[in-house]
Amino acid sequence: MLRIGFVCLVSLPFLLYYLWKAGYIERHGEKYSEADRYRIARRMVSIMKHNGLIRTRVYGTEKLPPQGGYVMYANHQGKYDSLGIIWAHPTPCTVMIDAERSRLPLTNEFVRLLKGSRLDKSSMKTQMKTILEVIEQVKSGRRYIIFPEGGYFHNRNAVQDFLPGAFKCAIKSRSPIVPVALIESYRPFGVNSIRPVTTQVHFLEPLYYDDYKEMTSVEIAALVRDKIRGTIDRVCGGNQAPAPKH
């Protein structure tokens, strides 16, 4: 939490400007394309990274599908996860996020700027409506970030089981699944320090519909998790401590 306070203090003039800018865009949305919104969002992340002494190494962008919609499924470590992926991802994408967490200051404005989807876990009917909307958006060419662990309680570089239901968005839209391995992503906002930190974002080989159409959602979830965990094990040398069960 120390770094969040430090970044907010150092970046206050920029934060005030971009909060105003996000509100302006919300009121005059017809003037701004998705690319415009994404460029502003990445600029916000870039300022935060610079002022927060955060470095993110990016691998595998050449593996990303060159066109069309797809869903990125990443392990979840902390508040920096979405920001790191958005900074690493060269073309517009957005995020599906827990509705309650999405209402936090700054997060709310960021989700609105990217036209993200808020998942209300208190209502099954609302959840299904949101998932169906995301499916249609992916079909139309949008790219989404989803965290299938459902939370990041002290995960660090360990990976919890993935929720099979999270893969409905890709399965029903018949879109590519892009596994994303995050490493040390908990450190920026999960360690009480303002020392320089380095995180990693690894975009792995996509699974196209023909690759997984004969598989169940449980099998897909396990496969994607294994790919991500294998990358983390390879990079970290298999020395990460197991995360506590939720």
**Confidence at residue 106, expressed as pLDDT on a 0 to 100 scale:** 77
Query: Is residue 246, in this structure, part of any structural domain at all?
Result: no
CA dist 92 and 204 (Å) reads: 18
Query: Is residue 114, in this structure, part of any structural domain at all?
Result: yes
Q: Tens digit of pLDDT per residue, the chain (246 long)?
A: 688 888 888 888 888 888 888 888 888 888 899 999 999 999 999 999 999 999 999 999 999 999 999 999 999 999 999 999 999 999 999 999 988 888 777 788 889 999 999 998 888 889 999 999 999 999 999 999 999 998 777 788 999 999 999 999 999 999 999 999 999 999 999 888 999 999 999 999 999 999 999 999 999 999 999 999 999 999 998 655 444 333
Query: Is residue 242, in this structure, part of any structural domain at all?
Result: no
Q: Which residue has the tokens 């949008």?
A: 142
Domain count across the chain: 1
Query: Is residue 122, in this structure, part of any structural domain at all?
Result: yes
Q: Which residues contact 134 (CB under 8 A, 6 or more apart)?
A: 96, 117, 144, 169
Q: Which residue has the tokens 């790219």?
A: 143
Query: Is residue 50, in this structure, part of any structural domain at all?
Result: yes
The dihedral through the CA atoms of 218, 199, 45, 10 has a sign that is positive
Residue ranges of the alpha helices (H) in the chain? 2-10, 12-27, 34-51, 81-88, 99-102, 107-113, 124-139, 168-173, 187-190, 209-212, 217-236
Please tell me what DSSP assigns to residue 166: G
Query: Is residue 243, in this structure, part of any structural domain at all?
Result: no
CA dist 129 and 127 (Å) reads: 5
Residue 69 structural domain = 2-236
For the chain, how long is the longest CA-to-CA vector? 52
The CATH number that applies at residue 14 is 3.40.1130.10
pTM, to two decimals: 0.91
